[in-house]
Amino acid sequence: MDIETGPLFDGIGGTVQSSALFADLLGDGELQALLCDIAILAHYRQFETALVEAKRDLGMTAEKEASEALSHLASFVPDTELLARQTGRDGVPIPGYIERLKQGLNGEAADAVHSGATSQDVMDTALILCLRDVNAVLETRLQNLLGQFDRLAARFGDRTIMGRTRMQAALPISVSHRIGNWRRPLQALLDDWPHMSSQIEWLQLGGPVGDRRGFEGRTDGVAEKMAERLGLIDPGHAWHTDRRPIMAQGEVLSRLSSALGKFGQDVALMAQNGIDEIKLRGTGGSSAMPHKSNPVAAEVLVSLARYNTAQLGLLHTSQIHEQERSGAAWTLEWMVLPTMCLASGRALLLAARLLGQIEMMGNLAK
C-alpha cells in the first residue's frame, strides 16, 4: 500500500488528538509537549533530585554521596525502549527507571536515590508538575479569550437579537446580554484559578503503603523540603487513595470545556440559515455542496465539551481505590486526564479562532 510521506503525515496517528491530519482541528501540540514522555521523564528526575537534596539538607545523606547522586541524575538518560518493555511487565515505569538509574551509582550514593519513596510518589508528583505547566498555558489562553469577548461586546453589544427560551423566540435582548452569558462562567473560572492551584499542586510522598513510614522518622521534614524545591504544597499526608487533586483538575477542565461548548452551540444556532444573527468568515466548506458555509469551530466546541463531560464520569469512577493502592483505578486516571487536558486546550484555541471569525452579530443598534 503506497502512502505518501512527508511532514503532513509525520503525526503518530491512531487517535484524532495525535493525528497530523486532525492537528489543526482537535490537536494541541503545545500541551502535548507538556504531557509527553520527555516531559514526564524530566519530572521523574526532578522528583528524585529534590529527594536527594532534601536528604542532604537534613543530614540523612552525606554531602559527598549526595553530590555524586545529583551529578549522576543530571546526566542520566534512560533507555526508553527497555523502559517501555519493563513498564509492560511492571505496570509502571518507575521500577525499570530506578533500576537503570542506580546502575551508575554505588553504596550510599545509590541508597540516596529513591529509597523511602515508592512508584506512586514519583508518578503522581510528576503528573502534578505536568498539570501545573498545562494549567499555566490554559490560564494565559483563558485571559486572552476574555479580552476577545470584551472586544466583541464593544463592537456589537448595543445591537439586538431575539432572545430564545426552550429554542423558541421569546423577547428581544441585547447582544451584550448574550455575550455576557458566554463570558461569565469563564471569568468565574479564571477568578477561581488561584484556589484551584492550591487544590491541585500537591507533592505526593507516602512511601510503600502511604503511611509516610521511613526516612528515619523524618518524612514530614523531607516532604517539606521537597515541596519547597519543587514549588508544590505538602498536604501533610499521602494522597495515594485520596484523589482530590486529580478530581479538582478534572472538574476545572470540564467547567472550561462546557462553558466553551455553550458558546459554540449558540453560535452554530445563530448561524443557521433563516436565523442569520451572526456572520462568520473562514468557515468550512463541503465537498458536495459548494454553497454551504459550515460553522466548524462552533461545532467542534460542542463535541469537545461533550467528550470531556463523558471523561469526567470515567474520572469519577477512578476514585474508588481499593485498600492502600489501586492498579486499576490509577491506570484509568492515566488514560483519561491527559486527553481531557488536550480537549480543553484545543477548545480554548478554537474559541479564540471562532471569535476572530465573527464579522457581524445582531440586528440594528438600539
Collect all residues with Cβ–Cβ distance below 8 Å to 362 and sequence separation of at least 6: 156, 159, 160, 161, 174, 175, 277
Q: Would you say the C-alpha torsion 278, 279, 282, 287 has a positive or negative sign?
A: positive
**Distance, first Cα to last Cα, the chain:** 62
Q: Is 191 exposed, middle or buried (0-12, 13-18, 19+ CB in 10 A)?
A: exposed
pLDDT along the chain (366 residues), means of 10: 51 71 86 95 97 96 95 93 92 94 90 93 98 98 98 96 91 96 98 94 93 88 97 96 96 98 96 90 53 79 97 92 86 94 97 95 67
Answer for the pair 286, 292: CB distance below 8 angstroms, yes or no. yes
Say what the pLDDT of residue 25 is. Answer: 82
* Ordered DSSP codes for 20-65: STTHHHH--HHHHHHHSHHHHHHHHHHHHHHHHHHHHHTTSS-HHH
Say what the pLDDT of residue 295 is. Answer: 82
Q: What is the number of other CB atoms lying within 10 angstroms of the CB of residue 20?
A: 15
Answer for the pair 217, 60: CB distance below 8 angstroms, yes or no. no
Say what the pLDDT of residue 11 is. Answer: 54
Distance of alpha carbon 25 from alpha carbon 18, whole angstroms: 11
Provide the grid cell at 19: 493525528
DSSP 7: G
Domains present along the chain, CATH in parentheses: 44-112 (1.10.275.10), 119-201+237-361 (1.20.200.10)
pTM higher than 0.85, yes or no?
yes
Contacts 24+ apart (CB under 8 A), 149-157: 149/179, 149/182, 149/183, 149/186, 149/355, 150/183, 152/179, 152/355, 152/358, 152/361, 153/179, 153/180, 153/183, 155/361, 156/360, 156/361, 156/362
Q: Residue 76: helix, strand or coil by DSSP?
A: coil
